[in-house]
Structure 1
Amino acid sequence: MGVSSSSPPEGVHVVIVGGGFGGTAAALQLKSRGLKFTLIDVRDAFHHNVAALRAAVTPGFARQTFIPYAETFGDSFVQGRVDRVDTERQVVVLQGGREVQYSHLVLSTGTAGPFPGKLGGEESYRGAVAAYENLVLQVQAAGSVLVVGGGSTGAEMAAEIKTRYPDKKVVLVHSRTELADPELQPSVRQQVKEVLLEKGVELVLGQKVTNLPELHLNVTHKDQRVRTDQDQVLTVDLVISCTGLRVNADAYRAHMAGSVAEGGALKVDAHLQVVGVSNVFAVGDCNDVAEPKTAYAAELHAAVAVANIANAAAGRPLTEYRPGNATLLLALGPDDGVGQFSGWRLPRFLVVLGKSRDLLLWKSWRELGQTRP
């Protein structure tokens, strides 16, 4: 009896480590293809962290940025922290000893960094919501706020605060003279600077904060003294750090040392297979594809990885992932934004419509099949 091409291949069980944009997109695609999978994440809800900075300044908003996994994925979701990946035995070992067997593995462990841009150790989304709501109170209590770091996260953070609370003094300190991602066109980076100045953000560029470890971050503490390497002293009530992203490599660094690039990302080939282990794929921020690390790119990676798992199981040739011209949209408050799409600079009003107003929250709630609160 011939097997119909639509029936899922036998023996496929994909394990996805990390439920960010890439991991969740992979799980949704595996679900729609009828392939067996297990999504593992340390938290109990998907964090739409594209909206994390607005959640730090807008009361009541944080709840909308967390979408519980179990309601969408049921028993295919496991909450746990991965201790290690054993590629010989093809198991993922969780802290506490539980083992999950896989035929194919998708690693989407993402990056870590300071709160509020990234979420720390909060394992329940209710605890995470409380952390954001607490930061809202700190921002409200502060007369002046200093943001450290003027990459895309720092620029967006400063804009969110100044838009919501125009009377507050907001200072952005950045070690370089240009803001936002180096992958953005110079004219778009210049626009970021113009928008922040229009909003009244004070820019201290080409200077590095030298006493960051001594400062109280995310807590309003009157008259904190922030020092720079140009001997400038800035006195503010609240300091928020938006620097120092690093790849979350703990799950795989030990067992897959030969496949890890400098900085902790996994080396991948054109099919997004981890170099040296053909049944392991890496998507999103934890692979070494040379392109801006965005939610948009992570979802594109997930589509290629899942297609290739299905292709490999069916004996078909694999598809390649080709990075295009950088697509990046920066929301600079709900009312402004800059960006480029496939190398073309976009008009600011289009970025507002496409991203800034709602930060694509509607998209995540719809894709996960749940009703936004």
Structure 2
Amino acid sequence: MGSQASSPASLQGVHVVVVGGGFGGIAAAQQLKSGGFSFTLIDMRDAFHHNVAALRASVQPGFARRTFIPYAETFGDNFVQGQVVQVDTDAQKVILEGGQVIQYSHLILCTGTDGAFPGKFITIASYQTAIQTYEDFVKQVQAADSVLVIGGGSTGVEMAAEIKTEYPEKKVVLIHSRIALADPELLPSVRQDAKLVLVEKGVELLLGQKVLNLSELQLNVISRNMVVSTDRGTSLTTDLIISCVGLKINSAAYASSFSGSLAENGALKVNEHLQVEGHSHVYAVGDCADVKEPKMAYHAALHAKVAVNNIRNSLSGKALTSYRTGNVTMLLAMGHNDGVGQFNGFKLPRFLVALGKSRDLLLWKSWREMEQKQP
């Protein structure tokens, strides 16, 4: 599967390197592959993680194996497992840990965001190990009589809903530092719906409160009757604590090489064509692009299409495509049987979100994109 299609003359001498195999990375790699480009996809893991379904994999035994899809089966020799430690923009090469060097004519950076397990699995490990890590975590959730979820952004809301849906008998508490739940980019009515679903499912909400003793608490591991204190004087006990806060841009691969093009949060400043400022042959895609919109798989795939089109257009002398942000589309799976969200700025009925996303969390889409059969 690693062989290239015959390349048109305009692609001779072109080699595109894609750093990061998340949603933006695999979308870019597939478009490069179908377009006859010579390319290399680099990721530190050996399998794509469909982390949209990571929270379901945290509560449902046997589900995790559906969320990891091996890169090599799709991209063959065009995939290299490794960690990029430096980009040499003058020599146009990426340097991997261990010293391997890969030349590029064009570079697409798709390094994504880093965050806490189980929402993210940013660890150098085989996908079999990754799957087992989730299976082990499911056992922790099953053994707990009470679970505390810290953080009421979209991930925390979905996490609490998944646990309460799968294990309705468990006590589930969600603590959030703000009053409104989920992503601030969502319509107020959608955020209110998220709260309503949690209340209907029996999740206890502590809103407008921060955990004071987080650094002293064990995360993701059963520890009976842990005492948690908040800045509002609330004290509660729980068996298991899951943190859903602290997402940050994963800039380690490029920060030293693009210091002049970094936003405050570590994302790369880009122009309307998604080219990194000052580097016309380098594109940023997905979470690591400094674009004012929610960080979502859906947007990463749109970015990837623009980046690959612009590489093609630049080679043939055509005008470059601009990326325009639109009205927010975001769907939150609230367990397998409910959901809230909006499409293109318009609120959707809950049953439609449940039907469109919550039942299988769009796994079919990633398996189709990777041209493999879902187990």
Which bin holds the TM-score, normalised by the shorter protein? over 0.9
2:346 alignment partner in structure 1 = 344
Q: Partners of 1:62 and 1:23 in 2: how far apart?
A: 21
Confirm whether residue 182 of structure 1 aligns to residue 192 of structure 2: no
Q: Partners of 2:226 and 2:147 in 1: how far apart?
A: 10
Secondary structure, aligned partner of 1:250: coil
2:319 alignment partner in structure 1 = 317
Q: 1:6 Cα deviation (Å)?
A: 5.5
Secondary structure, aligned partner of 2:254: coil
Q: What are the residue-to-residue correspondences of 1:94-243 with 2, within 5 Å? A: 94-243=96-245
Normalised by the length of structure 2, the TM-score is: 0.97
Normalised by the length of structure 1, the TM-score is: 0.98
- The answer to which of 114-123 and 14-23 deviates more is 114-123
Q: 1:111 Cα deviation (Å)?
A: 0.3
**Letter of the 1:53 counterpart:** L
Q: Partners of 1:365 and 1:180 in 2: how far apart?
A: 28
Q: Partners of 1:118 and 1:36 in 2: how far apart?
A: 30
Partner residue of 1:335 out of 334, 337, 341:
337
Q: Partners of 1:233 and 1:89 in 2: how far apart?
A: 57
1:326 alignment partner in structure 2 = 328
- Unmatched 5+ stretches in structure 1: none
**Letter of the 1:52 counterpart:** A
Q: 1:261 Cα deviation (Å)?
A: 0.4
Q: What are the residue-to-residue correspondences of 1:294-305 with 2, within 5 Å? A: 294-305=296-307
Residues 122 and 128 in structure 1, CA contact (< 8 A), matched pair in contact too: no
1:31 alignment partner in structure 2 = 33
Q: Partners of 1:6 and 1:92 in 2: how far apart?
A: 25
Residues 7 and 37 in structure 2, CA contact (< 8 A), matched pair in contact too: no
RMSD: 1.1
Secondary structure, aligned partner of 2:86: strand
Distance 1:8 1:361, change over 3 A: farther
- The answer to which of 212-221 and 159-168 deviates more is 212-221
Q: 1:123 Cα deviation (Å)?
A: 2.0
Secondary structure, aligned partner of 2:11: coil
Q: Partners of 2:283 and 2:203 in 1: how far apart?
A: 42
1:44 alignment partner in structure 2 = 46
Q: Partners of 1:224 and 1:77 in 2: how far apart?
A: 44
Q: Partners of 2:300 and 2:10 in 1: how far apart?
A: 25
Secondary structure, aligned partner of 1:208: coil
Residues 9 and 314 in structure 1, CA contact (< 8 A), matched pair in contact too: no
2:262 alignment partner in structure 1 = 260
Q: Partners of 1:227 and 1:33 in 2: how far apart?
A: 56
Residues 82 and 95 in structure 1, CA contact (< 8 A), matched pair in contact too: yes
Count of equivalent residues: 370
Secondary structure, aligned partner of 1:97: coil
Secondary structure, aligned partner of 1:83: strand
2:3 alignment partner in structure 1 = none
1:59 alignment partner in structure 2 = 61
Q: 1:5 Cα deviation (Å)?
A: 10
Q: Partners of 1:8 and 1:141 in 2: how far apart?
A: 59
Q: 1:233 Cα deviation (Å)?
A: 1.0
Q: 1:210 Cα deviation (Å)?
A: 1.2
**Letter of the 2:17 counterpart:** V
- Unmatched 5+ stretches in structure 2: 1-5
Residues 229 and 236 in structure 2, CA contact (< 8 A), matched pair in contact too: yes
Secondary structure, aligned partner of 2:137: helix
Residues 37 and 76 in structure 1, CA contact (< 8 A), matched pair in contact too: yes
Partner residue of 1:360 out of 338, 362, 369:
362
**Residues 266-324 of structure 1, C-alpha deviation per residue, up to 9 Å, x if partnerless?**
00000000011010000000011000110000000000000001111111110000010
**Residues 31-79 of structure 1, C-alpha deviation per residue, up to 9 Å, x if partnerless?**
0101111000000000000000000000000000000000000000000
Secondary structure, aligned partner of 2:158: helix
